[in-house]
Amino acid sequence: MAFGTRLTALLDIEHPIIQGGMAWTATAELAAAVSQAGGLGIIGAGHMPTDLLREQIRNAKALTSRPFGVNLMLLTPHIDELVQLVLDEHVPVVTTGAGNPGKYMAALKEQGIKVLPIAPSVALAKRMESIGADAIIGEGMEAGGHIGELTTMVLTPLLVDAVSIPVVAAGGIADGRGLAAAFALGAEGVQVGTRFMCAEECTIHPAVKEQVIKARDRDTVVTGRSTGHPVRVIKNKLARQIAELDRENRPEEIEALGTGKLALAMRHGDVEMGSLMAGQAAAMVCEIQPAAQIITDMVSEAEAVFARLGGLGAR
Ligand code: TUI
């Protein structure tokens, strides 16, 4: 069965699976592997210096001739420079996170770039549609990293009802059952982050992959609510220290303590004092696999779900 949707047509991809644009995690190697396998690979720009992002984009272009994207994290201080870079490099697709990309929409669209803002709410999704977004990624609070308030189960149908452009469901989706469920809710694609952390081609430190694989149902926690930027991470020593500062309502100290900690985990493998950003779906990730295997497994599992449910409907 083919999972062709408006989203796969829009992005010129085979399978409706977008890889999450995880900072310090989603490098050109991972993005290219996902795109080669027929999904949409994304380079996570995060706070990356402009020259490094240019190199990453060029690496991805060398590794795949398929479409790929860049996720722009809008809170980064040099965001204007990163936007200019994706324009100059003619990156086919941009996803945005952690803010409102309104200021950049016209320039990106003019260049022919497909823009998929990540929205944690109906209001932002509607605003984004009205200024020309090509699709909306609705990210529920099951996701890793910086999150909103709503769950994927509620956010997805609300967005599907609120906008006419395609909706991509994100947060808590790590297998074919999640893919099928997202389609049942009206989504035309999914964004998967945490499971791709354990792709063979993902260049994060092996110690972090081990933490994701070991994680059980209640092993993630949301920290940093007092800063206004809550973040879901796998519990460790850093998370406990931040939770304590949250309880004492000391947001400035959380910002200071958090600086540099994502790289400390993902690059250097410090799983106690690094920030282990990952979603609740970490509990569902059991092994390291090639990105292509993750995609084909998800698609064939979803096909099996539809076959089973189609049968139920006929009873
Ligand atoms: O952006 C993400 N996930 C992230 S960003 C990140 S780096 C960071 N670290 C610490 C604090 C803050 C950021 C780590 N993980 N996912 C997409 C996402 N976007 N989640 C939530 C949002 C979001 C929130 C508010 C998008 C738009 C928004 O708009 C507010 C407004 O201006 O309307």
CA of 147 to the centre of ligand 1 (A): 6
- Measured distance CA(295)–CA(298) in Å, rounded: 5
Q: What is the pLDDT of residue 247?
A: 94
**Count of C-beta atoms within a 10 Å radius of residue 153:** 15
The full set of domains in the chain, from first to last, is 6-203+286-308 (3.20.20.70), 216-277 (no CATH)
Residue to mutate (ligand 1; options 75, 94, 136, 146; most atoms within 8 A of CB): 146
Give the pTM: 0.97
CB 75 within 8 A of CB 98: yes
Residues with pLDDT less than 70, the chain: 1-2, 311-315
**Is residue 193 in contact with ligand 1, taking CB distance under 6 Å?**
no
Q: What is the pLDDT of residue 311?
A: 67
Q: What is the pLDDT of residue 7?
A: 98
**Is residue 125 in contact with ligand 1, taking CB distance under 6 Å?**
no
CB 46 within 8 A of CB 70: no
CA of 275 to the centre of ligand 1 (A): 16
Q: What is the pLDDT of residue 4?
A: 86
CA of 99 to the centre of ligand 1 (A): 6
Q: What is the pLDDT of residue 310?
A: 86
Q: What is the pLDDT of residue 158?
A: 98
Please name the residues in contact with 306: beta carbons below 8 A apart, sequence gap of 6 or more: 1, 180
**Is residue 261 in contact with ligand 1, taking CB distance under 6 Å?**
no
- Measured distance CA(70)–CA(105) in Å, rounded: 14
Residue of the CA atom closest to atom 14 of ligand 1:
145
Q: Which atom of ligand 1 is nearest to the CA of 145?
A: 15
Q: What is the pLDDT of residue 34?
A: 98
Residue 204 Cα to chain centre, angstroms? 15
**Is residue 99 in contact with ligand 1, taking CB distance under 6 Å?**
yes
**Encoding tokens for residue 38?**
């027929």
For residue 166, give the amino acid letter: P
